[in-house]
Amino acid sequence: MPNTKPGRKGPQADDSVKGVIQFRAGGSAFVIVDGKRDEPSIQISPDDTGVALPGDTVVVRIYRGVAGKRPGERVGRVVEIVERNRTTIVGDLRREGRNFFVAPDDPRFVYEVAVPDPARSAVKPTPHPGDKVVVKLGEWRRREQPLVGEITERLGRTHEPRAELLGIFIKHGLEPNFPADVEREALAIPDRVGAKEIEGRVDYRPLPVFTIDPDDAKDFDDALSIEDLGGGDVRVGIHIADVSSYVKHGSAIDREARTRGNSTYLVGTVIPMLPEKLSNGLCSLVEAQDRLCKAVFLTFDADARIKETGFANTVIRSRKRLTYKQAYALLFENSLEKIRAMPVPPKHQTGSTGRALRELSDRELSDLQVWIRALWRIASMLRKDRMAHGSLDLDMPETKIFVDPQGYADRLERIEQDESHQLIEEFMLAANEAVARLTRTQKLPSLYRVHDQPDSEKLNDYRQFVATFGIKVGDLTRREEVVKLLTILKTHPQGYTLRTQFLRSLKKACYRPTPDGHYGLHKKDYTHFTSPIRRYADLVVHQVVQSYLARGAVRHDVRGIQQLAEHLSLTEINSSEAERESVKIKLLEFFERELAKKKRTAFPAIITDVRRHGFFIELVESMTFGFVSSDTLGDDYYQLNAEGNALVGRRKHHSYELNGRLDVVVDKVDRFKRIIDFRPA
């Protein structure tokens, strides 16, 4: 019988391995072997999972002579629990007769948890069926016995925004509040940049410097400056908030930022890495305020080739806080009056973010437009050159969810990576590359952003998969074939879905103390330097750059950097999972609210897969996935055609074909299974 005692060593037989188990919604699971994340996982049937729970470290005995569905894949069964991954779960309290149980929020946590009558618990207010609660799990040693637990906290009514948000906090270990010692340190930080802090810095306050960020941004990490040096040469400054000037190595703020690893951006809220006084205050490069920065200076010739690279501590005063939409208008709109009419985000109309575009004089607006267009001329050439040398265009449109004052999902907006985004991206990439090259050549212990070469078998599997969609490409281990593939997917009806699946076939980028290169960008030198307000890795790299500039500031030891890299890679994964869950919950909430409308919104959709009982769709604007049951196609009796790519009506011969387009309305939403069903509009 499996042993659940943490730390006990598993059997040492050749046919047994240790790893982490993850479940699928249907109850089957897979185990990723310790230290071999890039190898095929071990497949576990529902009957062979024993008393394992999601994320547990387990010992698996391999079935000899049994192969999985994919090449090299093995099949096994769980024989021992080495360590439990979790002691609590969050879920919906339910009742059947006299029995109470909690259905976990995570559809991959396939077991319900039996709990005592909540009326007899010490939790106040008393939980009732339909509440979202936290449950402390009891020991589970025998599969034939129920999994039991005890309610420790009531979060609110299930599906209320606050309760859902608290559930994400608990599940992912996110803490919105800072410890008292961190708050005390933050309180002691001045509100403004003092004259003494400016001493010894390169003064860029008289020169044109500005920021470009999303409409709802509150923390501004980066700003750009531009200088015409004559003879066709232009110097661009990438000025990054000098967080390291305020967050001292080993301080309470530094220790907490390290623990958090990064800010986590959930729909409607953020769990910041740094206290608000720094993240939204003294370190944020707001308009018309003196701010300390670390800068990378790149001098370009007339053909946008880098002639010279420099680094410095600077002080800036941003001339303008621009949104991406405003920057786009400055790039492509010639009428100053139309540019002035660009909307200002409501949260940023007043205060330290400065004047709206409509308040600028013709001269100020014209100057701003000249600077933006000059920067784009260089950035566009950088981008063209980068792509020509094999960098992969992996930019994906995203769906931004806006919430109402009560926290409910209220509006969806598709965000495209247009030229205004690309302008910023190119200079940030160039700065990150320049800093990585500096730390490598100067042999400074530092963090690097690494993206390893993909597994050839996974690429081959993907190539065979896209061939079923009529996409013919060669060996995807050759970069030119990957570029060809991505070009095709840009205009393919299911391009978003297929690009997403391509990204999943690649290895995850991570942090390392060694400059092992970046596959996606096709760069030898790459690091993260440009977002120290929201990523601790960038703050560490700032400290490394300061050690170069000051000849003797904080230097990190190699062993410490290795441990830090592993920790930050894990906190990044945790935040990404929390952010994805937040988006999923809010999308379900948005479409559930559609059901209450008298006239439901018609959404354009593309058919992505056809089955006997219906077809799967992807909404064009929000890129949301759903299912249309053949039961909702009431005008005829539909059958799957011989090719398996269309449902065809028996009488009228109308068909719903793969890649076909139609308008749909919401039909059903299952918040617990996280499924959305649609029907033709």
pLDDT digits (tens, 9 = 90+) for 288-343: 999 999 999 999 999 999 999 999 999 999 999 999 999 999 999 999 999 988 87
Are 396 and 500 contacting, i.e. CB atoms less than 8 angstroms apart? yes
* Share of residues in the chain with pLDDT > 90 (%): 80
What is the pLDDT, as a whole number, of residue 54?
A: 93
| Residues contacting 621, CB < 8 A, separation 6+ | 399, 412, 414, 603, 604
Are 465 and 555 contacting, i.e. CB atoms less than 8 angstroms apart? no
Given the structure tokens 């779960």, which residue do they identify?
Answer: 89
* Share of residues in the chain with pLDDT > 70 (%): 94
What does each C-alpha distance from 290 to 192, 196, 203, 206 come to in angstroms? Answer: 8, 13, 10, 11
Confidence band for 61, pLDDT divided at 50, 70 and 90: very high
Beta strands 149-157; 202-203: pairing state: unpaired
Closest CA to 439 of 305, 557, 547: 547
Q: Give the C-alpha separation, 653 to 358, whole Å.
A: 57
pLDDT digits (tens, 9 = 90+) for 28-57: 999 988 867 667 789 999 999 999 999 999
Structure tokens at 306: 């880098």
Q: Give the C-alpha separation, 672 to 25, whole Å.
A: 11
Q: Give the C-alpha separation, 324 to 104, whole Å.
A: 40
Q: Phi then psi for 362, rounded to 5 degrees?
A: -60, -40
Calculate the average pLDDT of the chain.
91
Question: Which residues on adjacent β-strands are paired with residue 312?
Answer: 295
Closest CA to 2 of 41, 52, 47: 52
What is the pLDDT, as a whole number, of residue 553?
A: 59
CA within 13 Å, CB half, 519:
19
What is the pLDDT, as a whole number, of residue 635?
A: 82
What does each C-alpha distance from 534 to 191, 345, 419 come to in angstroms? Answer: 20, 22, 24
Number of C-beta neighbours around residue 372 at 10 A = 24
Task: Please say if the pLDDT value at position 8 is more than 50.
Answer: no
Q: Which domains does the chain have, with CATH numbers?
A: 16-83 (2.40.50.140), 88-158 (2.40.50.640), 191-440 (no CATH), 603-680 (2.40.50.140)
pLDDT digits (tens, 9 = 90+) for 418-464: 999 999 999 999 999 999 999 999 999 999 999 999 999 889 999 99
Q: Give the C-alpha separation, 375 to 246, whole Å.
A: 30
Q: What angle do CA 109, 51, 29 make, to 5 degrees?
A: 50
Given the structure tokens 């952010």, which residue do they identify?
Answer: 579
Segment 483-508 mean pLDDT: 90
Task: Please say if the pLDDT value at position 478 is more than 50.
Answer: yes
- SS3 track for 191-203: CCCCHHHHCCCEE
Confidence band for 559, pLDDT divided at 50, 70 and 90: confident
Sheet strands (E) in 387-486:
398-403, 409-415, 448-450
Q: Give the C-alpha separation, 32 to 68, whole Å.
A: 14
What does each C-alpha distance from 517 to 444, 509, 512, 552 come to in angstroms? Answer: 17, 10, 10, 28
Segment 650-660 mean pLDDT: 92
Q: Give the C-alpha separation, 166 to 131, whole Å.
A: 13
Angle between helices 252-260 and 180-188 (to 10 degrees): 120
Confidence band for 354, pLDDT divided at 50, 70 and 90: low
Residue 269 buriedness (CB in 10 A; 0-12 / 13-18 / 19+): middle
pLDDT digits (tens, 9 = 90+) for 359-416: 889 999 999 999 999 999 999 999 999 999 999 998 888 899 999 999 999 999 988 8
What does each C-alpha distance from 43 to 47, 56, 107, 109 come to in angstroms? Answer: 12, 15, 19, 17
CA end-to-end span of the chain: 55
| Residues contacting 632, CB < 8 A, separation 6+ | 614, 667, 677, 678, 679, 680
Binning the chain into helix, strand and coil, the percentages to the nearest 5 are 30, 30, 40
Q: Give the C-alpha separation, 82 to 84, whole Å.
A: 7
Sheet strands (E) in 407-485:
409-415, 448-450
Task: Please say if the pLDDT value at position 71 is more than 80.
Answer: no
Structure tokens at 84: 């439990």
What does each C-alpha distance from 291 to 192, 201, 250, 262, 285 come to in angstroms? Answer: 8, 11, 23, 22, 6
